[in-house]
Amino acid sequence: MSIKKQALKSKPVSKVSFKISKSQAEGAAAVSVVGEFNNWDQASGTMSRLKDGSFSFSAELPSGREYQFRYVADGTRWFNDEEADGLVPSGMGSEQNSLLSL
């Protein structure tokens, strides 16, 4: 997994790119990145499948904030990003969410 962040000079946003490798996707047909930035909506966070079997998604998000997020494979398997800026309790049992700081 990888997260790349680039602050834009022309406006107070950062371009954030999320990538999941083929092995991390574990054979999933579809992967979404969901979080506070898209109201946890799988449809608005659908990642593009690349030729090598990995998945990617990019978004411009307001800078100066933290966002909780997770990945969802095939609509059922939720998992975190190992390269996130941290983990925080999700409020659902012992589950945690990945944290993105911009």
Pick 92 or 14 by higher pLDDT.
14
What value does the mean pLDDT take over residues 13-39?
94
Say whether pLDDT at 42 is over 90.
yes
pLDDT for 84 equals: 94
Q: Which two tokens stand for residue 5?
A: 């962040």
Structural domain 2-101, CATH architecture: Sandwich (2.60)
pTM: predicted TM-score of the whole model, two decimal places: 0.91
How many residues in total does the chain contain? Answer: 102
Is residue 57 very low, low, confident or very high in pLDDT (cuts 50, 70, 90)?
very high
At residue 30, does pLDDT exceed 80?
yes
